[in-house]
Copies of this chain bind each other. A is one copy, B any other.
Amino acid sequence: MVCKGLYRALCIREKYMQKSFQRFPKTASKYLRNIDGEAWVAKESFYPVFTPPMKKGEDPFRTDNLPENLGYHLKMKDGVVYVYPNEEAASKEEPKPLPYPNLDTFLDDMNFLLALIAQGPVKTYTHRRPKFLSSKFQVHQMLNEMDELKELKNNPHRDFYNCRKVDTHIHAAACMNQKHLLRFIKKSYQIDADRVVYSTKEKNLTLKELFVKLKMHPYDLTVDSLDVHAGRQTFQRFDKFNDKYNPVGASELRDLYLKTDNYINGEYFATIIKEVGADLVDAKYQHAEPRLSIYGRSPDEWSKLSAWFVQNRTYCPNMTWMIQVPRIYDVFRLKNFLPHFGKMLENIFMPVFEATINPQAHPDLSVFLKHITGFDSVDDESKHSGLMFSSKSPKPQEWTMEKNPSYTYYTYYMYANILVLNSLRKERGMNTFLFRPHCGEAGALTHLMTAFMTADNISHGLNLKKSPVLQYLFFLAQIPIAMSPLSNNSLFLEYAKNPFLDFLQKGLMISLSTDDPMQFHFTKEPLMEEYAIAAQVFKLSTCDMCEVARNSVLQCGISHEEKAKFLGANYLEEGPIGNDIRKTNVAQIRMAYRYETWCYELNLIVEGIKSGE
């Protein structure tokens, strides 16, 4: 029964991933097919599509090659965008055959998982297995540590410094460190003091007038008065943390320096980001995946954001972009910006569908979307909505109350639209999107369960500590988790208590990320600082660090071509065969250990089922 439960759970994830062109490991699929008594066939068609790197001299903003208008019609039905071949089909409700989501099935699957994670025998089994994995790794370490090290020493020209690492979770609005922002503000004042940069209801202000209004002079500013760094005050206080986005506590400065949509069209923000990008290019082996916000408050957000991206030529070869959607429907509803939750979904997804169908009519957005690799869902997870997602939940267009929908509700509708969108884009030969929500930083375990069904990978995952079943499932499905122990240290969990090391030892697929260098980091190289502190506190070996770095490249949204370049041509293969030590500096002994251990656990399920338990 236990093994059947785990098997079904994995099948559920496999289904949701493959339908939406998100990733499910081949090895796990093979074991599932074995249980089904079916032959496994490799299908490349399941892979996500990322835009290949720009060719030398190619303009990342070129619009002369945008595909033609398909003339399709779009309609949002119960929170999901439906695609119709033409107007007639739309009126007849005959949508184009795409894998639309089925809410009832989703709820059934969800309820199955809900029951599974509460079952006693499953809990016992999944409590024991990760514990065993932990001890097994420690034995591996004692036996093979020196051999792993020897492999790395004999690996010419590659070490931790020149193996690729990706900052898999970073917010664009906090991607610079505090000192960088301070320097930028001072520099902007030197150059632009008399430039009109801000408009209030009464009048337009120059930079000088703005600072006079705020009663401060940039020369006197320090990182202390800037006050964007998280401190002891922010622990367990996500609300205070959010205020830290306001330099000197002034929302005007946040607006001027850290927003895309302002009087100067986000020029300063774009410049800072490009400076961060230039530092990455200088460092050569570091990449980042900054998130930009789409709020769903109004339908023109996408056109504004993409115009900002294109006009400021905010492009960097070492950056891939993501869209984060804050879960703040309740705020917008309270202020009457939105009539219902359905409108928010429409604002978030309809423009993307439109640009997918008729790219030439939306050149900026079409170009921007090429550089977008996924969607993130963000907000304070410790806030509880109190509303369970069930078949009785109001449909999005009926969700008119001021209360916020639950994490699961949000997640389902994000996933549902990405599912349809990806199918449509894949058909058109366009890049697809991953769903990579913040999940398990705090709050209920259901968040992690929902992500297990819908998300390609997640950020944080701390709460896997609390659910053995989900922890084991995340291991079996090798779901990537971008962990940010420094961020957690300032917000939710002290560094020494972070499960990073525990998860890594057990073989969960962990990467390291900075989250918000502006708030958490001190040095010029936030990602290196994150690795250095983890290495020191957790006493990581070089092999550990390079394994985490390799995980980060696998997890991220950079293109197939670059991944092959950074990890080796076989990177899509799992296990040691997929590892090119000359590029990754991960010992084959380690890779073999990981792969054997994983297969052993998968096989236990096969055996368990075959023996009828």
Tell me the A residues contacting B by CB distance below 8 Å: 145, 149, 152-162, 179, 219-225, 227, 231-232, 235, 486, 489, 495-496, 520-525, 528-529, 531-533, 535-537, 539, 541-542, 585
Contacts and interface: CB of A to CB of B under 8 A. Distances in A.
B536 A224 contact: no
B224 A155 contact: yes
A534 to B, nearest CB: 10
Given A155-B222, A522-B535, A524-B524, 20 more contacts: A152-B222, A153-B225, A153-B227, A156-B225, A157-B219, A160-B223, A161-B179, A224-B542, A224-B585, A231-B541, A235-B539, A489-B536, A496-B496, A522-B532, A523-B528, A523-B529, A523-B532, A524-B525, A533-B537, A537-B537
A114 to B, nearest CB: 37
A227 B541 CA distance: 12
A521 B152 CA distance: 19
A266 B486 CA distance: 41
A432 to B, nearest CB: 36
A572 to B, nearest CB: 26
Contacts of A179: 161
A476 to B, nearest CB: 29
A427 B284 CA distance: 57
A486 B535 CA distance: 11
A529 B526 CA distance: 11
A22 to B, nearest CB: 34
B159 A223 contact: yes
- Number of this chain's copies in the assembly equals 2
Contact of A521 (B219, B231, B532, B537): B532
A595 to B, nearest CB: 22
A536 B495 contact: yes
A207 to B, nearest CB: 19
11 contacts: A145-B232, A149-B224, A153-B222, A154-B225, A155-B222, A155-B224, A158-B222, A161-B223, A231-B541, A496-B496, A522-B528
A495 to B, nearest CB: 6
B157 A220 contact: yes
Contacts of A585: 222, 224
Contacts of A235: 539
A533 B321 CA distance: 29
A523 B531 CA distance: 10
A222 B546 CA distance: 13
A576 to B, nearest CB: 19
A240 to B, nearest CB: 12
Given A525-B524, A541-B232, A486 B536 contact: yes
A537 B496 contact: yes
Contacts of A157: 219-222
Contacts of A522: 528, 531-532, 535
B495 A537 contact: yes
A235 B528 CA distance: 23
A528 B521 CA distance: 11
B486 A224 contact: no
A189 to B, nearest CB: 13
A266 to B, nearest CB: 27
A370 to B, nearest CB: 34
A405 to B, nearest CB: 35
| Chain B CB within 10 A, most for which of A220, A224, A520 | A224
A179 B529 CA distance: 15
Contacts of A539: 231-232, 235, 489
A499 to B, nearest CB: 15
A284 B600 CA distance: 56
Contacts of A223: 159-161, 542
Nearest to A539: B232
Contacts of A533: 532-533, 536-537
Nearest to A217: B156
Nearest to A535: B522
A52 B145 CA distance: 51
Contacts of A523: 523, 525, 528-529, 532
A149 B233 CA distance: 11
A158 B162 CA distance: 36
A237 B535 CA distance: 19
Contacts of A153: 222, 224-225, 227
Given A232-B145, A537-B496, A539-B232, A159 B224 contact: yes
The 6 A-B pairs of least Cβ separation, nearest first, read A156-B220, A159-B222, A522-B532, A159-B223, A152-B224, A153-B225
Contacts of A162: 222
A539 B149 CA distance: 33
A256 B219 CA distance: 47
A119 B179 CA distance: 51
A546 to B, nearest CB: 9
Contacts of A224: 149, 152-153, 155, 159-160, 542, 585
A274 to B, nearest CB: 22
